[in-house]
Amino acid sequence: MLMPSLSDDQESRQCFLAGLVVRSLSISTSNWRCAETLGDYLAERNIMGIYDIDTRVITRRLRQDGSLIGVLSTERTKTDEELLEMSRSWDIVGVDLISGVSCKAPHDWVDKTNTEWEFNSSKRGGEAFRVIAYDFGIKHNILKRLASYGCKITVVPSTWPASETLKMKPDGVLFSNGPGDPSAVPYAVETVKEIIGKVPAFGICMGHQLLGLALGGKTFKMKFGHHGGNHPVRNLCSGHVEISAQNHNYAVDSSSLPEGVEVTHVNLNDGSCAGLAYPAQNIMSIQYHPEASPGPHDSDYAFREFIQLMKKVKVNSRVMAALSFI
C-alpha cells in the first residue's frame, strides 16, 4: 500500500496516530499520487502497525461491549497477563489529550482550498473577517475553508488566555475539533466561558462539546462513539439531512442544556445532539466535520453561516455606534 503526497492530504503538522490495525495490507496501488509505502510512512514516524487482523471480529465485539482499551506490543517477553494489565492501567476518561496535539505558539494561516478542489466560488469577495482559531487538534481543511471564505486567521494554542484573544479584537472565534474527554480540560472550558457573549463563536466537534459545557450543560462518554464518513444528521432548522463525517467518543447531553440554548442538529442513528445554537450570545456549533466531504459538500454551509453571524454582529455594532452619536 502506497501513501499519497502529504502536501495534498495531511490534515495536521504531524501524524499523531498511536497505532494502526488493518485486515489486509495491499502491496500494490493504482493511485497516481502515491509517494511512499504505508510501512515506510509509519516507520519514519515511529508508529506501530499490525495487519492480517480479523477487524470484523473486533468490530462485532466493540458493538456489543462498547469502546475497549487494547495494546500493541513488539515485546515478545511479555505474558498475556502483563499485556492485559497494561490495557487496564490506561483510560481515555479524564485524560487531557488536547495539550499533546495543540500548537505551541500563535501563527497566522493563509492557505485556501486548492483551486483544483474548490467547488464554490460564489463566496469570494466582500468583507474579510478576523478569526482567532483555538487549536485543540485542528484539521488544516477547517482553516482552508475559512480562508477560502475570506477570513484572516490566527491560530492559537489550547492554553491561550481569553484575555489575549479579546485584545486581538477578533470578529469571531473558532473552537476546533480535538481528541478525548472535554471534561478533562477544564482550562479550555474556562477559556470558552470567558469569550462567549463577547464575540461570535463557532465550535466544531470538541469545540462543540466545550461550548456545551461552558453554557452549563453536561457531556457523556458514548458506548462506542461516532466514527466514519456516513453518519446522517438532520438539520432541524431546514429539515435537510446531511451525510456527515464524524470522529468522537463524547457527546453533549441535550437535556442538560439551559433555557435559550437550541439543539439545531440531531444524529439520526441514535438521536444524539449534533449541533446547537445560542442566538442571545451569537454561538453556533456542530458535532461533526463540515470541512470533510462525505456528502460531498452537504455541511460546508456551516462556514457560510459563521461568516453571516460575524457580519450580522459587526453591522449591529456599527449601527449602535452610529446611534450613540445622534
Kindly list the domain boundaries of the chain, sorted by start residue: 19-89, 98-317
Active-site pick, 226, 231, 265, 289: 289
Question: pLDDT value at position 324?
Answer: 65
Between 67 and 185, residue with greater pLDDT: 185
Q: What is the DSSP string of 249-291?
A: EEEEEGGGSPTT-EEEEEETTT--EEEEEEGGGTEEEESS-TT
Report whether pLDDT(113) > 60: yes
Question: pLDDT value at position 60?
Answer: 94
Active-site pick, 205, 208, 265, 273: 205
Catalytic (active site) residue 205:
yes
List the one residue out of 140, 142, 174, 141 whose CA is nearest residue 156: 174
Mean local confidence (pLDDT), 129-148: 96
Look up residue 118 and give its three cell numbers: 474548490
- Say which CATH topology domain 19-89 has: Glucose Oxidase; domain 1 (3.50.30)
The DSSP letter of residue 199 is B
172 φψ region: left (φ > 0), alpha (ψ -120 to 50), beta (else): beta
Active-site pick, 151, 248, 265, 291: 291
Q: How confident is the model at residue 325 (pLDDT cuts 50, 70, 90)?
A: low
Q: How confident is the model at residue 119 (pLDDT cuts 50, 70, 90)?
A: confident
* SS3 state at 163: helix
Q: How confident is the model at residue 280 (pLDDT cuts 50, 70, 90)?
A: very high
Between 94 and 120, residue with greater pLDDT: 94
Catalytic (active site) residue 127:
no
Question: pLDDT value at position 33?
Answer: 83
- Say which CATH topology domain 98-317 has: Rossmann fold (3.40.50)
Question: pLDDT value at position 35?
Answer: 84
Look up residue 143 and give its three cell numbers: 482553516
